[in-house]
């Protein structure tokens, strides 16, 4: 049970921070299917920073993960400007824009990873070895019956994500900026009439989404894979999109859905180990979160209420 909770939480938290970014974007009225690409490009820039930083500071320096976090957020933010420009400035079809960003991220990061490795090591590898983040255990809480496993062998980034989630919740629901952002997704004409700048708020929401997606990407690289490689694009961004949809574009319900996905994934893996099944079966059981996504779509999609102006272009002259 402890391993299910430990592994499930470490998988759920990066999903959560990416899903929060998606909530910001879609609550502003911009459809966001590019989480996968933003996650990957952010992880790429953070991994490059970690590799170069290790050459200067040493591979064991605890500062490397924080350097990687800062650069991954910057990388995801900058890359998200492509989606923002296409959707807000040039009024491109938002679903197609998301697909373009995802495809571009895979191709670009794979190519750039080979180029950087060729310059550093002389080998055109498509992977960055960045290692695994350290872990810690909360002394008293880890001894709680049943739920104590949630506080054992935690990654430091899990605490970072909880802080980011609280700040994001407060900003979205308790500040004037959050009110304007939510108005963009519900009735942009009313916001414009009140003096708000719909385009500017939507661009800022996409940028927040890019930064948070990059953060989630580097956390996945530091925990699940211990590398940056094309395998970082494993559908995690789409799972985050599914989580925010099932969470009705609200942060707390989305958190619960991410935990559900995380524990489903870790339960499948532990079941495979318990039954002594070969590795190819464990790969099959890893698709459990995606199967659950399909089932949830069947039973709960009719209860979802997306923002009313989601995916709609705002034309100031038509209000």
Q: Are 209 and 217 in contact (CB under 8 A)?
A: no
**Number of domains the chain is built from:** 1
Q: pLDDT tens digits for 239-274?
A: 999 999 989 999 999 999 999 888 888 887 777 777
What pairs with residue 92 in β-bridges? none
Separation between Cα atoms, residue 175 and residue 156, nearest integer Å: 28
In a domain, residue 267? The reply is no
Q: Is residue 214 part of a domain?
A: yes
Q: Which helix (H) or strand (E) holds 52?
A: helix 35-57
For the chain, which residues score pLDDT lower than 50?
none
Collapsing DSSP states into helix, strand and coil, what is residue 312?
Answer: coil
Q: Is 210 a domain residue?
A: yes
What are the tokens at 288? 């459990």
Contact between residue 103 and residue 38 where contact means Cβ atoms under 8 Å apart:
no
What DSSP character marks residue 152? S
Write down the pLDDT at residue 187.
94
| Alpha carbon distances (Å) from 134 to 6, 8, 218, 222 | 14, 17, 14, 9
Q: What is the pLDDT of residue 285?
A: 66
Half-sphere exposure of 191 (CA within 13 A, CB side): 25
Residue 92, classified by CB atoms within 10 Å of its CB into exposed (0-12), middle (13-18) or buried (19+), is middle
Tell me, what's the pLDDT at 284? 67
pLDDT of residue 280: 65
**pLDDT recorded at residue 122:** 84
Q: Is residue 274 part of a domain?
A: no
Say what the pLDDT of residue 281 is. 64
Q: Which of 171, 202, 247, 191 is nearest to 26 (CA)?
A: 202
How much is the pLDDT for 231?
Answer: 79
In a domain, 270, yes or no: no
Q: Is residue 298 part of a domain?
A: no
Q: Which domain holds residue 111?
A: 12-134+148-233+307-318
- How many C-beta atoms surround the C-beta of residue 178 within 10 A? 17
Could you tell me if 73 and 42 are in contact, meaning their C-beta atoms sit under 8 angstroms apart? yes
Instruction: Let me know if residue 141 belongs to a domain.
Output: no
CA atoms within 13 A on the CB side of 198: 27
**pLDDT at residue number 296:** 74
282 located within any domain: no
């Amino acid at each position: 049970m402890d391993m299910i909770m430990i592994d499930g939480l470490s998988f759920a938290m990066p999903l959560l921070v990416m899903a929060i970014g998606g909530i910001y974007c879609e609550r502003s009225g911009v459809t966001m299917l590019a989480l996968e690409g933003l996650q990957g490009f952010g992880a790429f820039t953070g991994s490059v920073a970690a590799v170069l930083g290790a050459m200067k500071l040493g591979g064991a320096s605890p500062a490397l993960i924080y350097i990687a976090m800062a650069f991954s957020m910057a990388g995801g933010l900058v890359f998200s400007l492509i989606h923002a420009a296409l959707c807000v400035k040039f009024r491109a079809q938002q679903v197609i824009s998301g697909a373009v960003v995802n495809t571009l991220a895979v191709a670009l990061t794979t190519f750039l990873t080979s180029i950087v490795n060729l310059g550093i090591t002389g080998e055109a590898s498509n992977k960055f070895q960045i290692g695994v983040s350290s872990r810690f255990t909360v002394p008293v809480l880890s001894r709680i019956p049943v739920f104590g496993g949630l506080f054992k062998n935690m990654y430091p980034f899990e605490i970072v994500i909880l802080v980011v989630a609280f700040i994001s919740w407060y900003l979205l629901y308790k500040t004037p900026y959050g009110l304007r952002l939510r108005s963009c997704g519900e009735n942009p004409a009313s916001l414009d009439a009140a003096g708000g700048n719909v385009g500017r708020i939507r661009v800022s929401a996409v940028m927040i989404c890019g930064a948070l997606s990059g953060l989630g990407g580097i956390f996945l690289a530091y925990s699940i894979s211990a590398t940056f490689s094309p395998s970082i694009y494993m559908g995690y961004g789409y799972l985050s999109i599914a989580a925010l949809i099932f969470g009705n574009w609200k942060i707390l319900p989305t958190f619960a859905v991410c935990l559900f996905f995380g524990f489903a994934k870790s339960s499948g893996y532990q079941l495979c180990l318990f039954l002594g099944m070969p590795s190819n079966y464990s790969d099959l059981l890893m698709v459990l979160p995606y199967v659950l996504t399909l089932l949830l779509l069947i039973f709960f999609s009719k209860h979802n209420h997306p923002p009313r102006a989601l995916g709609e272009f705002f034309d100031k002259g038509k209000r």
